[in-house]
Structures are given as C-alpha cells and as structure tokens.
Chains A and B, each alone.
Chain A
Amino acid sequence: MEFIKILTSKTLFLAIFLLFSFMAPGVDAADKENCLMCHKYRQIGRIDEKGRKRSYFVSENIYANAVHRNVPCRDCHTYIDKLPHDPVTQEVNCANECHIKPPFSNENFSHKKIIDVYNRSVHGSKDDDSAELKAAKPYCKYCHLNPIYTRVDEQRIAFEETLSRCLNCHERKGVTQAYKHITHRLRSKTSRSPQEIVQLCAKNCHADLVLMKKLKVSRESMEAVKTYNESIHGKAIGLGSQTAADCVSCHATSSIHDIYKKDEPHATVNKANLVKTCKQCHENVTERFAQIDVHSEIGPHEKPFLYSVNVILGFVFYGSVFSLIGLAMLESYGRRKDGISMQIVRGTSWRGESKRKKSK
C-alpha cells in the first residue's frame, strides 16, 4: 500500500515530469526546470490590476546570448516554489548567490560585492533617506538590462586573431561566448557608449527637474545635465565622440558604482582627488588645471565677466552672419530697384542698365 501511495504522490509525478522536461528540445543549462515551456511564448502576459502591461515572455534566442545565459531561472526567482506559480509579487535580489561557480573560485557567484560598493555610494538607499528619495534612487535593473554580449572591436583586443587561436582547441559555440564574456570587461571604458551613459543618467532622473526639485538636491545637481551639455565634454559627446568624458568617467572609479557627493573624501570629484581624476585623460594635470569648473554655470551673477564675454561673442557671431546676409539682401534690393537684375550666365551676376545712370 505504501508503495502505491508513493507511486501516486505528486513528487513522483514531478520527477517523471522533470525527466521528460530535460529530454524535451530547447532546454539548455539555464532552464533546468523547463520554465521556458510556458515563458517562451511572446504573448504570455497580462494587464495587471493597475492597468500596466506585463509581459512574461523570455526569448530563448536572446537569453542564450545574454550575460545571464547560464544562470538557472530559480537562482534569481528564488520565491517560485510551485507550478503553476502564483502571481509574482517579490523582486529579484541581485545579491543572491547563484549556482554558478566562476573559474578559479569555489564560491558560488554573487553580485554582493558590487552591491555593497553601490550601497555605500550616493545612490545606495540610506536609513535617513526620505521615502521619496528612497523611491527615486535607481535599483540594479534601472541601469542594467541583462545585456547581450557584443563583440569588442577595440584594436588592442584583436578579436578575430585571438579567437581563432582559441578555436584551435575549443569548440566555436562555447568559446566564442566565453571570449565575448572576457573581452566584455576589457574595454577601455564601460561596455556602453558615452552617449548611452549620459542618456542613462539624465533621462527620467538627473534631467527631470521636477523630480530633482522634489528631492531637494543642491543647485549644482539641479543644473548638472544642463551645464554638462554646455561644457566641452558634453559638446564632444553630443557630436559623437567616444573618448570624451561622460558622467561615469569623472564621477566613479573603475568600479563604476562608487559615485559619491563631492564633499565625501573618497569621491573622485573631491578637491583632493581631482588631479588624479583629470589625469585619466589629460596629461600634465596641475592643481590649477583641476580647478577648471567642469559644470560651469555662466550666469550674470555667478560669473559676470565670463557671462559678458559670452554675450559679446554671441553678438559678434550672430552679428557677422546676419550682417552679411542683411548687406547682401540690401544690395539685391537696391540693384533691383535700380533696374538691374541678377543673371548667372555670360560673365556677370548683375545685368541691365541702371536707372540712375540713365537719368544722369
């Protein structure tokens, strides 16, 4: 009887189910429990109680090329313990340990270290933060969108040459991904373009002046995006430069997440650290060079001299362009009035007999 009970138990049914799941096509390492059996369909989703569209679709092909491709679903979605599972109300905790052992380590992988760095930074949630500030502070997924590996085209990486050497011993499919994984972090800067970094920091956050005002940030922070766009760095990035400084270049070290207020001693933009920060790109940086205001607000009250020069230069620039146009127009008007018309053939621009000369 006991045996029959076991036979009919859900556990045995589950074991058989999982066995068949593994045999089913399309199941790879990350999808041990065959979650994609349901989640591979693009229309799986719903409109939630608040009217928001929720898509639960996970594209097999995209996920297989994303940086989390080897992480089993339930390593992140730890709260799922039954099938079909209940509506998910919990957020994923990126500090969880997942069952991936990095090379040269026996410890399970976790983002905990970088999250600790982040939590100490200005963006980390603090106990004395107001509720509004806590809600506005970015969380992991705000900036990180499970990126797809991209080939690093920087010259020093020599992608094709090095990969072709790997292929002497390793299979293409596996080693290509592994090579992309390594080179992903070997870029001179972040894997995002400076334009993407500026966009990320500005959009919906630092450029949202209503939000910034609500959070009672300093005047410098309120104007940070505007003054950056007006600076030489901002203009270069705006024109497509890939080497000029973006937000992260100056405000964080290579760990990217350690952004602090400038008064904090370990802030890269603290007065004591500015020379070192500028030296990342500029040669022969002196204390005086480091004093140059990067987020410079050139207003009549803040910097009257610079403001005056700026206004005068504006007048000179616009004045010269529009004066030339005005003169040309005035000349055309006068000549036409005088009976001379413009022709572009036969050796001259203006042809005809002047009424003035005639009357003389």
Chain B
Amino acid sequence: MPGEPKRLEHPKSVYVIGFIFKIITLSVLIAVIYQITFSPHGPAVLVPIKEKIEESQKSAILDEVRQQEEYEKHRHFHHVVEYPQLPENMRPVCYICHSDYPHSKNKKVRAMLNMHTQFFVCETCHIEEQPGMSVIYKWYNPLNENPKGPFFGTSYDTESGNLVEVEDQFSKISPFYRSGDKFKSAIQIQDSDLAQDYVKVRDKLTPEQRDNVKKKFHVHIKAKGHECKVCHSRNGILDFRTLGFSANRIIDLEQLNIKGMVTKYEEFYIPNLFSE
C-alpha cells in the first residue's frame, strides 16, 4: 500500500521458534483434552460413553477365555512362553476345528500325543495310506517353500545338553505324495479353495450339511493315529537321518523310554531312591 513502511522478512530463527511454540501449544492442548475426556486424573467426561461402547461389544466367552489365560500363567508357575504363531490362513485345515491340543480321550497319553503337534502336522500320524501312492516325509513350512533348517528337536546343545533353540519356529514334518521326481503336499492349508469356501458358508449350513462337508476334509484321514513304534523304532516310517536329526538324537528317538512305559507297563512306580 502506498505510504505503508516496507515490511521485512522475518529471520529464519523466528520460524523455528514459532514452530517450537506451536508444537508445545498443541501438546498442551492434546494433554488438556485427554485430561478432560479419558484420563483417570481428570473429570473423565467421555469415559461413560467409552464404557457403553465396550459394554455393547462385550462377550462373556471372550472375557472368560482371557481370564483363564491369565489364571493359567499363575497356575503354570514355570513360565508360559509365547511362541510366534502362523497366520490363520496358512495353518492346515485341521485348525478350523481342532487346536494345537487335539487329543483328550486317553488320559494316560493325551498330553504326550499333543506334544507331537510341535513336530509334525496331523496328517503325518493320521494319514491313511492309499494303494499305489508312495508317501514320503519331509520338513514343511507354509512360509518357506524349501526349508533348510536347522529344525527344532533335531539336535542337542553340546554345552547345556538341552535341545538346540532354532530360528525356524514353523517347520514340521509333513507327508508328501511322490509323483515321479516331484512331491505333492498331502495336506491342505486354510487358504485352499475348499477351506475358504467352508469358512465362508459354515454358519449357514445345517448340522447335517456341516457333517457332510467335514467328511470331505477327513478323506484319507484315519481316526486313530500310528502306534508309537511306527516312528520310534529303527525301521520306522520317519527317516530321522534324512530329516536332519543328529546321531545321538536319533538314538534317543528310536529307543525312546516313554514308548516302552506307555506300551508295556500299566504303572511305573518311582521308588524312594532319593528320599533322605
């Protein structure tokens, strides 16, 4: 404007100072808003609304499951260790209905049978052999087409004597059908078409229809898995050497004491050898 004195640009430091003040003002404002709305140290004006929303989404089942998980930490006492889990869609289809603890009937061995789910997929034990189909067992990792290991449980730490901790948390021994030089996986994952379709429509199916579909998932699956000795013996179906187990681990697995205890003895008493 005519007559208006010439205005000068602010020095750059002014913009920096202004920016810092704006950040401080904004932080104070956010803190005040939090204080007034949700903070337990303020009037918490929005807390009743938050509680109302949470109440509407509340599930008694979910609450109980979480509470039980909390209690399990205390009951267990020896530290419940969390391990990485596979994404839901990469798990075998069995996991749509079954968990990592599928066995519950036989009181004597159910926990031991469940222990094996760390090492192999359900089909390894429950696959029904078919005439003309050759099955071989390899390490399978849904996140890695060609897992190289080292795999958990295959060797001992020479210093501590414990099983060696490994990076690969997901590889399990799994059956494959041999077709010429190629191997085709004998298992389905939840990403398979049949599994995806089932998950989509299962709530719409009648109980009979659901049973029918479940039969499809259990084709070539036998209810009773292999006996211990089918794997835990010198000529078992699992070739521990090819699977990468160390020599002393192979000896332990092939001559496993547990197998004898479970199959030969009804009761196995610990005498008072150590009582003082």
A contact residues vs B (CB 8 Å cutoff): 10-11, 14-15, 17-18, 20-21, 24-28, 32-33, 37-38, 40-47, 52-64, 66, 72, 74, 80-84, 86-87, 92, 99, 141-142, 145-146, 148, 204, 226, 229-230, 235, 238, 314, 318, 321, 325, 344-348, 353
Contacts and interface: CB of A to CB of B under 8 A. Distances in A.
A234 B115 CA distance: 45
Contact of B79 (A38, A66, A318): A66
Contacts of B1: 353
Contacts of A57: 78, 81
A53 B68 contact: yes
Given A40-B162, A46-B110, A53-B101, 5 more contacts: A41-B115, A58-B78, A141-B77, A148-B79, A229-B41
Interface string B2-24: 00000111100001001000000
A167 B244 CA distance: 40
A14 B7 contact: no
Give the top 7 A-B pairs by smallest Cβ distance, nearest first: A25-B161, A26-B161, A43-B118, A347-B7, A44-B115, A83-B268, A60-B162
B216 interface: no
Contact of A10 (B41, B107, B268): B268
B262 A62 contact: no
A18 B273 contact: yes
A59 B78 contact: yes
Contact of B114 (A44, A63, A74, A148): A44
Given A55-B72, A230-B41, A43 B115 contact: yes
Interface residues of B, number: 67
Interface string B230-271: 000000000000000000100010000110011001011111
A52 to B, nearest CB: 5
Contact of A53 (B10, B72, B163): B72
Nearest to A322: B32
Contact of B258 (A24, A38, A81): A38
B108 interface: yes
Contacts of B165: 61
B118 A56 contact: no
17 contacts: A10-B268, A14-B270, A25-B161, A40-B163, A42-B81, A43-B100, A43-B118, A53-B101, A63-B79, A64-B160, A72-B274, A84-B108, A87-B107, A145-B74, A204-B70, A325-B29, A346-B10
Contact of A318 (B9, B32, B104): B32
B254 to A, nearest CB: 14
Interface in B136-180: 153, 156, 160-163, 165
Contact of A83 (B117, B248, B270): B270
B109 interface: yes
B162 A61 contact: yes
B230 to A, nearest CB: 19
A210 B269 CA distance: 47
A54 B103 CA distance: 12
B213 interface: no
Given A10-B265, A60-B160, A43 B116 contact: yes
Contact of B80 (A55, A80, A92, A238): A55
Given A141-B74, A145-B79, A26 B163 contact: yes
A46 B111 contact: yes
A53 B70 CA distance: 11
Contacts of B265: 10
Contacts of A353: 1
B128 to A, nearest CB: 24
B158 to A, nearest CB: 8
Nearest to B69: A53
A58 to B, nearest CB: 4
B52 interface: no
A82 B270 contact: yes
A263 B181 CA distance: 83
B40 interface: yes
A138 B267 CA distance: 36
Nearest to A325: B29
A97 B117 CA distance: 37
Interface string B176-189: 00000000000000
A43 B108 contact: no
Contacts of A21: 257
Contacts of B103: 46
A62 B81 contact: yes
B78 A63 contact: yes
A47 B99 contact: yes
B81 A145 contact: no
B81 A346 contact: no
Contacts of A238: 41
Given A42-B81, A84-B109, A52 B72 contact: yes
A47 B104 contact: yes
Contacts of A86: 107
Contacts of A38: 111-112, 115, 258
Nearest to A230: B41
A56 B276 CA distance: 28
Given A53-B69, A55-B80, A26 B160 contact: yes
B267 A32 contact: no
Nearest to B276: A99
Interface in B189-247: none
Nearest to B269: A82
Contact of A142 (B74, B156, B163): B74
Nearest to A18: B273
B203 to A, nearest CB: 21
Contacts of B160: 26, 60-61, 64
